[in-house]
Amino acid sequence: MSTHVSATASPEAGYNFAYLDEQTKRMIRRAILKAIAIPGYQVPFASREMPMPYGWGTGGVQVTASILGRDDVLKVIDQGSDDTTNAVSIRKFFERTAGVRTTTHTREATVVQTRHRIPEETLREGQVIVYQVPIPEPLRFLEPRETETRKLHALAEYGLMHVKLYEDIARHGHIATTYAYPVEVAGRYIMDPSPTPKFDNPKMHLMAALQLFGAGREKRIYAIPPYTEVRSLDFEDHPFRIQTFKEPCALCAATGVYLDEVIMDDRGGRMFVCSDSDFCEERRSAGHRGSMLADAPAALTGDSTHA
Amino acid sequence: MLNDLPDAPLLSVRDLTRYYGERIGCADVSFDLYEGEVLAVVGESGSGKSTLLSLLATELEASAGSIRYRMRDGIACDLATLTEAERRLLLRTDWGFVRQDSTQGLRMSVSAGGNIGERLMAVGARHYGNIRGTSLDWLGRVEIDRGRIDDIPKAFSGGMRQRLQIARNLVTHPRLVFMDEPTSGLDVSVQARLLDLIRGLVSELGLAVIIVTHDLSVARLLSHRIMVMKGGRVIEAGLTDRVLDDPHQPYTQLLVSSVLAA
Amino acid sequence: MQPLVQLDGVSKAFTLHLHEGVRLDVVSDVNFSAAPGECIVLGGPSGAGKSSLLKIVYGNYSCDAGHIWIRDGGEKIDVATAEPRRILAMRRHIMGYVSQFLRVIPRVGALEIVAAAGREGGLDSQVAQDRAQEYLSLLNVPERLWTLPPATFSGGEQQRVNIARGLIADRPVLLLDEPTASLDARNRAVVVDLIERKKKAGVAIIGIFHDEDVRDKVATHVVDVTHFAAKTA
């Protein structure tokens, strides 16, 4: 389902470009610059009230609003898809308040705002990916005191993080964290990569694009500049491993990508399809066919005709 | 014959003083502690012994005086010049602190193995199997059933928690261990076992220990030297058996005579 | 022959602050010495200060004046002014003490108590173990008691564990406070024999013996402690 909106739509009257006032944008950009200068470090910022509740991406929206220019092309995804409720409403929000071109094609976008996934398409220099983050502090569950976690980061005292992984292995026989898997950035700060599946962690390593992270409720911004080392934490004898899927995508036959499980009927019928909807569509346009493409409901493929 | 005595003290304390407003917490405390020595600090409530321990462990800032500690490289270092990072590293590696309240000295929601392994992980241990192996080893040494390695301390008795605290502190082979009333609140038989364990480990590992206690029999059992405190000051100090068998000061004589012999 | 122990002008008084500061003079201006191979017996009636003198030599009691010189290799150390760790080191390697009362670490078996004393005195683990067994056997402490803590033993059995503990290592100075007090004739003879062996090995002994018979057999000289009674004004 591709939607192109031309740049001719003008932003709704009464709002500043991209909703936030210019002073707020400056404040946020200062925080972003600081975050880029100290990769992985959580920079506090004065998070504004946004016209959506906490937990719906206010942090990501504020970061995007602060960096958006008239010539930018914006893609918004949620769980890899451009057409879920959250993605649609945020995209519409920026169409109305900034009038920028939006797209579903990763290659065309200059800014990608995401919740819970990194696109399969490799991002390039000049692109910015903005992650929505609920809890920015990776140590929060083991150390509830903010005063203490700040000290731990300042002094690089990260033994506790490995205690968490140790506990996982002791309890489950393996590291049980499958999303929001902690990473070490540029050999210094330990960071929560937001609730993306650990499958996506390797994409963050030496990524050519700029990665920005915004947490609205917790009022923190952090960043990974392009080509930065990002290493997932592990033990020597329990190395970091990403999830593997037994079968390729049922629609486009892609392998090595993150798949979503789709329930087809109430008799246990199900199929596994690319979580990244744009990526899947591109492959199908190029002629790749998955084993269940013929049987897939139209709503899933977005086509009224099957080739 | 006496070449086995180290020449330089491990800890050198001079005129250590701490005020709480106008009130003296402790005043003018001076002593040297050598490797392998166990020093008991005894006194009743309000004597200043806990303040002294907190000062020595650098958890409290002194109002006056100095503490010098001889690091592993042999250089004596004024603790007041340490950065926060250096201080915390020292507390995690070369020092131990066994607290009176085990809930303060343990992570109550982390398994026994995780509690013991934490210090190792804090200084870079990254092999799960080795960390777990070391934890199992230490559980054995402090006489906790190894099968409980994955249990959390909330499920342990008071005596077991204290033994876990000891293991957690000793895993990095500290040279100096602070103990604050480690046996208080425990049943008598549990106390006895714990004291035996401490005595054995101290002698086996050659630990220097500063132990605060109000119980003279604990001091007699564990310590080589003793300092008696009253009103924030050290009123008598010396060889433990000398001070307890031939007390000079009136207050010391009072303390000794007040103890009920078993 | 150079003495291993030399008391020089030693005086001691107790001040009982809890009893209106009553002052109990014990001894004044004590002078005597003990050379290798000698057994100096402290004589005098009960209360004359014999035990106190031994404790002063051992560092268990302080003294108000004077010096207690102990030979350590080429050095002479004054117990009266030595640092606690020095005194503890001397107790490990130089001075052994057999007291009248057994005050030991509770809950440890008799054999282990004696072997531990041997290791502390510098003996190798295996040697300490072997000698501990040897001494306990010599002193007629039955094997079935070896793993039991001495707190439950009879007075005589406790005393024999004490003696084994004091004598097991090769310390050049021995301080014996009534070592045969609760022993029968057979065991007294064993102790006399052990003392003779130590003398032959060059150990300097200062002892208190209540039993005249034993005293006569082991003493090189007798020092009458009443000579050192405090001169009251």
Residue-level pLDDT, tens digit, chain B, 262 residues: 344 556 799 999 999 999 999 999 999 999 999 999 999 999 988 899 999 999 999 999 999 999 999 998 889 999 999 998 899 889 989 999 999 999 999 999 999 999 999 999 998 899 999 999 999 999 999 999 999 999 999 999 999 999 999 999 999 999 999 999 999 888 888 888 899 899 889 888 989 999 999 999 899 989 999 999 999 999 999 999 999 999 999 999 999 998 765 4
Give how far the C-alpha of residue B121 lies from the chain's centroid of Cα atoms, to the nearest Å: 22
**Of the candidates A22, A49, A223, which has an alpha carbon nearest to the alpha carbon of residue A133?**
A223
Q: Looking at A57, A99, A216, A249, which residue is catalytic?
A: A249
Which span out of A53-57, A187-191, B183-187 was modeled with the highest average pLDDT? A187-191
User: Phi/psi at B150 (nearest 5 deg)?
Assistant: -100, 5
Residue B113 exposed, middle or buried by CB count within 10 Å (0-12, 13-18, 19+): buried
Residues A163, B118: C-beta atoms closer than 8 Å: yes
Quick one: tokens of B47? 């004597």
Residues C60, B241: C-beta atoms closer than 8 Å: yes
**Of the candidates B28, B66, B25, which has an alpha carbon nearest to the alpha carbon of residue B48?**
B25
- Which chain B residues touch C23 with a CB distance below 8 Å? none
CA distance A163 to B128: 10
Give every strand in the sheet of A183-185, ordered side by side. Answer: A189-191, A183-185, A230-232
- Residue A66: the pLDDT is 97
- Which chain B residues touch A150 with a CB distance below 8 Å? none
* pLDDT one-digit tens code per residue, A244-260: 898 899 999 999 999 99
Identity of the residue in B192, B245, B249 whose CB atom sits nearest the CB atom of C61: B245
Residues B107, A170: C-beta atoms closer than 8 Å: no
- Residue A177: the pLDDT is 86
Residues B254, C18: C-beta atoms closer than 8 Å: yes
- Residue A12: the pLDDT is 74
DSSP-H helix ranges across chain B = 49-56, 84-92, 102-105, 112-122, 128-141, 158-170, 188-205, 216-222, 240-245, 250-258
Catalytic: A69? no
Residues A159, B123: C-beta atoms closer than 8 Å: yes
Select from C62, C77, C173 the residue whose CB has the most chain B CBs within 10 Å, as the one to mutate to test that interface: C62
Given a cut of 80, whether residue C100 has pLDDT beyond it is: no
Tell me, what's the ipTM? 0.89
- Average pLDDT of span A31-48: 97
Residues A163, B127: C-beta atoms closer than 8 Å: no
**Do residues A252 and A294 touch, judged by C-beta distance below 8 A?**
no
CA distance B216 to B42: 7
Please compute, for residue C224, the number of CA atoms within 13 A of its CA located in the half-sphere on the CB side. Answer: 2
**Do residues A258 and A197 touch, judged by C-beta distance below 8 A?**
yes
Given a cut of 70, whether residue A236 has pLDDT beyond it is: yes
- Which chain A residues touch B121 with a CB distance below 8 Å? 159, 162-163, 166
Looking at residue A72, the DSSP 8-state letter turns out to be -
User: Phi/psi at B233 (nearest 5 deg)?
Assistant: -120, 155
Given a cut of 90, whether residue C125 has pLDDT beyond it is: yes
Catalytic: A216? no
- Which chain C residues touch B2 with a CB distance below 8 Å? 72-73, 75, 86, 89-90, 93
Q: How far is CA B12 from CA A207, A213, B8, B90, C41, in A?
A: 53, 50, 9, 16, 43
**Do residues A111 and A94 touch, judged by C-beta distance below 8 A?**
no
Comparison of pLDDT for A227 and C47, the residue scoring more: A227
The confidence band for C107, taking pLDDT boundaries of 50, 70 and 90, is: confident
Given a cut of 80, whether residue A296 has pLDDT beyond it is: no
CA distance A105 to A123: 12
Select from A150, A163, A175, A234 the residue whose CB has the most chain B CBs within 10 Å, as the one to mutate to test that interface: A163
The confidence band for A5, taking pLDDT boundaries of 50, 70 and 90, is: very low
Contacts of B130 (CB under 8 A, 6+ apart): none
Counting other chains too, the contacts that B134-142 makes at CB distance below 8 Å and 24 or more residues apart are B134/B171, B135/B167, B135/B171, B138/B167, B138/B170, B138/B171, B139/B112, B139/B113, B139/B167, B141/B167, B141/B201, B142/B166, B142/B167, B142/B197, B142/B201
